[in-house]
């Protein structure tokens, strides 16, 4: 499977450096290494979800408890989480660090991913969610730290879009 | 059985717990008995009260967490039962007030009114202890038993579809949220 282990490890180590101690996740192809790394790490609480929206409640609770967390999801999982984002994270000013695999963008070969790719950025903009791309190994650490800093200072969700260029080795 | 009488019967037991409620009648009735800084009312995001309770229970294993859920809210996030059962934190009590109704929007019947058995679903999801109660006395006994026990428990409380005259209270959502998080920080500093 050509999901980049090198860059998945880079992202995981960056999350650890950001003091992330809880990850919620629902598996998707690009996230398999990240989820396995979390699962094998005794110092990480990995919460495997049935649906991504649950992760909003989990991360809000972690924030209340003083635990730094992040959410791993596919962009379709972001679509499935929107009510939770609006009526919990936005309504109650909850910082969320959302790592979203950006399926359905340039290079996508799976037809079923393409419609979600079309609407991901327009929806992030419509919701007023600041976002940036993780698209090159050199900038992963800096952008992740910056996203976490903004989420915590603004008390709102911030998204990092994991791109094909970073996650996939062809 | 009235939900507010259930809440009244265990109100004094809630002092040492972290409490998460759903929106609507549950939040308004608990506030009518007296708000405390350890109560968080999730006034929207239907379905996520149980997820929030799970997150608190996992992050704060020394605290007892009690969620006051409802049939309408839980039916919107049945997957949460499977996630709770997967991690089955011993410090989480999941109460579901089942009035078979979406009361606050006019009393439309939910699927529990037409035969859906939330206790059966919770047990089949893997929640280790599931009980159904129909009297205030048995409700109180079930909650106290779960608090003193050491297994994830879901309590289905069959209540009447009646509620308070108003749902909006004087407590702002944001004030409640920051008060609750400060309460937890103060616990950690003890």
pLDDT in tens, A118-157: 999 999 999 999 999 999 999 999 999 999 999 999 999 9
pLDDT of res. A92: 98
Considering only the beta carbons, identify the residue of A58, A87, A91 that sits closest to B55: A58
Domain locations along chain B: 3-189
Residue of chain A whose Cα is closest to the Cα of B54: A58
B80 vs A contacts (CB less than 8 Å): 50, 54
Interchain proximity A62–B59, CB inside 8 Å? yes
Q: How many domains does chain A have?
A: 1
Interchain proximity B42–A49, CB inside 8 Å? no
pLDDT of res. B103: 87
Select from B131, B139, B130, B132 the least CA-distant residue to B9. B139
Residue of chain A whose Cα is closest to the Cα of B61: A65
Alpha-carbon gap: A30 to the closest alpha carbon of chain B (Å): 22
Considering only the beta carbons, identify the residue of A22, A87, A93 that sits closest to B44: A87
For B65, counting Cβ atoms within 10 Å of its Cβ (0-12 exposed, 13-18 middle, 19+ buried), the class is buried
Residue-by-residue DSSP string for A96-165: EEEEEE-TTSTT---GGGHHHHHHHHHHHHHTT--EEEE-SGGGHHHHHHHHHHHHHHHTSEEEEEEPHH
**Parts of chain A with a pLDDT under 70:** 1
What is the three-class DSSP state of B95?
strand
| Alpha-helical runs (H) found in chain B | 3-10, 25-33, 48-59, 71-75, 79-87, 118-125, 136-148, 173-189
pLDDT of res. B107: 87
Considering only the beta carbons, identify the residue of A22, A50, A87 that sits closest to B83: A50
Is the pLDDT reported for residue B106 higher than 90?
no
- Give the span between the Cα atoms of B166 and B188, in whole angstroms: 35
Interchain proximity A61–B87, CB inside 8 Å? no
Residue showing tokens 């006395």 = B137
pLDDT of res. B99: 96
A50 vs B contacts (CB less than 8 Å): 79-80, 82-83
Is the pLDDT reported for residue B190 higher than 80?
no
Task: Using an 8 Å CB-CB cutoff, list residues of chain A that contact chain B.
Answer: 22, 45, 47-51, 53-67, 83-84, 87-88, 91-94
How confident is the model over B41-84, as pLDDT tens digits?
999 999 999 999 999 999 999 999 999 999 999 999 999 999 99
Question: Mean pLDDT, chain B, as a whole number?
Answer: 96
Interchain proximity B83–A48, CB inside 8 Å? yes
Identify whether the C-beta of residue A77 lies closer than 8 Å to the C-beta of residue A96: no
Interchain proximity B83–A92, CB inside 8 Å? no
A88 vs B contacts (CB less than 8 Å): 42, 44-45, 48
pLDDT of res. A1: 63
- Give the span between the Cα atoms of B186 and B190, in whole angstroms: 7
CATH number, domain of A43, equals 3.40.50.970
ipTM more than 0.85? yes
Interchain proximity B184–A63, CB inside 8 Å? no
A92 vs B contacts (CB less than 8 Å): 173-174, 177
Dihedral sign of CA atoms A106, A111, A114, A116 in order:
negative
B3-189 — its CATH code? 3.40.50.970
- Domain containing residue A79: 5-167
Interchain proximity B48–A63, CB inside 8 Å? no
Is the pLDDT reported for residue B116 higher than 70?
yes
């Amino acid at each position: 499977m050509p999901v980049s282990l090198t860059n998945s490890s880079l992202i995981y180590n960056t999350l650890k450096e950001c003091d992330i101690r809880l990850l919620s996740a629902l598996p998707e192809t690009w996230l398999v290494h990240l989820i396995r790394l979390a699962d094998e790490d005794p110092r990480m609480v990995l919460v495997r979800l049935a649906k991504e929206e649950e992760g909003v409640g989990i991360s809000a609770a972690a924030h209340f408890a003083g635990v730094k967390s992040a959410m791993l999801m596919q962009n379709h999982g972001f679509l499935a989480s929107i009510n939770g984002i609006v009526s919990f994270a936005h309504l109650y000013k909850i910082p969320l660090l959302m790592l979203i695999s950006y399926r359905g963008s340039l290079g996508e070969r799976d037809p079923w991913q393409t419609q979600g790719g079309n609407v991901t950025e327009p929806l992030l903009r419509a919701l007023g969610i600041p976002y940036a791309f993780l698209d090159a190994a050199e900038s992963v650490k800096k952008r992740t730290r910056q996203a976490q800093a903004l989420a915590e200072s603004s008390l709102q969700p911030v998204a990092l879009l994991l791109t094909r260029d970073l996650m996939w080795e062809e | 059985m009235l939900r507010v009488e259930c809440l009244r019967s265990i109100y004094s037991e809630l002092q040492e717990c972290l409490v998460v409620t759903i929106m609507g009648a549950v939040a308004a009735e608990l506030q009518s008995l007296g708000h405390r800084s350890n109560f968080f009312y999730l006034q929207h995001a239907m379905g996520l009260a149980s997820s929030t309770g799970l997150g608190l229970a996992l992050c704060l294993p020394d605290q007892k967490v009690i969620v006051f859920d409802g049939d309408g809210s839980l039916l919107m996030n049945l997957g949460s039962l499977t996630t709770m059962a997967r991690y089955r934190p011993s410090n989480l009590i999941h109460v579901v007030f089942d009035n078979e109704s979406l009361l606050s929007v006019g009393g439309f019947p939910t699927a529990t009114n037409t035969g859906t058995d939330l206790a059966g679903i919770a047990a089949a999801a893997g929640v280790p202890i599931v009980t159904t109660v129909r009297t205030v006395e048995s409700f109180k006994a079930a909650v106290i038993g779960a608090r003193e026990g050491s297994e994830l428990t879901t309590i289905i409380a069959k209540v009447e579809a009646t509620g308070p005259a108003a749902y909006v209270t004087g407590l702002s959502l944001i004030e409640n949220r920051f008060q609750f998080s400060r309460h937890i920080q103060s616990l950690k500093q003890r």
